[in-house]
Amino acid sequence: TEHQHVRYNPLRDDWVLVSAHRVKRPWQGQLEKPPPEDVPRWDPKNPLCPGATRANGEVNPKYEGTFVFPNDFPALQPDAPEPDDSDHPLFRAAPARGVCKVMCFHPWSDLTLPLMSLPEIRAVIDAWAELATELGASYPWVQIFENKGAMMGCSNPHPHCQVWASSFLPNEARLEDRTQRQHLSQRGVPMLLEYAEQEARRKERLVVENADWLVVVPYWATWPYQTLLLPRRHVCRLQDLSDSEKDSLASIMQRLLIKYDNLFEVSFPYSMGWHGAPTGPYLEEDCRHWQLHAHYYPPLLRSATVRKFMVGYEMLAQAQRDLTPEQAAERLRSLPEVHYK
């Protein structure tokens, strides 16, 4: 807990440097602005609000629950042309096609997931599963992700996420596919199923748990208060969850996100996303090595205004963190599950 060491991340086949003593160093660097507390519930100029006009001129319906629409500035489009053939192996390109969607969680701009009711969070989970099924019927990878807060690149103060479906497996998916396949081959059990069982027994990195799910600060965490959300049973994809597992998922998400907000009494920024077995042509293949999971990557380190920067050594050598995962888990675990607001 006091001396630097490196820890292996079997999911990414890499290492992280843990330097727990560095969190004590004085900070005279950049201070972030806390998120605004006065976000209007409805703003006609906010393109994600019900009834508002988006950049492409389309008017949103006056939706009352979740609302899904095509991204007006998509990173992937279904009809992109083939790149030219390369004349050298160092200059390779490949086709990239897909669909990008935006999903609003709620019609109110001043709500975030931890402030929503359990039925409202369950509606978000249902919409995620529906999109994963719909887009996964033809696309190999469907990435559901949420960037929360301006600090994590969110350009709009409205509760929402994005869903990008691609004609290829992205880097993280290919990496996790390889490591999980290798683990199943060597040990006869899916990696993250075995890992969840170990963490449930050890408890030192456990944050919250219920009958179907557990949240841990992973042993190999990179970001200060990074967490990993895992099902207890073997589940390959989000759309494979039962109704009761979706209910308990809504509950554990709410509990985790309330703890996050309570940590520094601020609407806690993060990037999160779901990883599960590939889809499209992979639906007909054996994907037993995969275990559904969600990653939460929050940047805040010491307070609502001091973040962890992934620069210098992290960019040029390897990831480095300033407190142990056990210290982070203990702090999160001890926080109340009633929102500070």
List binding-site positions.
Answer: 22-25, 55, 71-72, 147, 153-155, 162, 176, 275, 293, 295, 308-309, 313-314, 320
Contact call for residues 135 and 239 (beta carbons, < 8 A): no
Separation of alpha carbons 257 and 115, rounded Å: 9
Q: Taking the CA atoms of the chain, what radius of gyration do you get in angstroms?
A: 20
For 43-58, b/e burial (b = at least 16 CB within 10 A) is: eeebbbbbebeeeeee
Q: Which residues are annotated as a binding site for UDP-alpha-D-glucose?
A: 22-25, 55, 71-72, 147, 153-155, 162, 308-309, 313-314, 320
**Of these residues, 158, 160, 183, 289, which one is catalytic?**
160
Q: Which residues are annotated as a binding site for Fe cation?
A: 176, 275, 293, 295
Contact call for residues 228 and 294 (beta carbons, < 8 A): yes
Q: Could you tell me how far CA 9 lies from the centroid of its own chain? A: 17
* Whether 183 is catalytic: no
Strand, helix or coil for residue 88: coil
Separation of alpha carbons 281 and 18, rounded Å: 40
Separation of alpha carbons 146 and 310, rounded Å: 19
Active site residues: 160
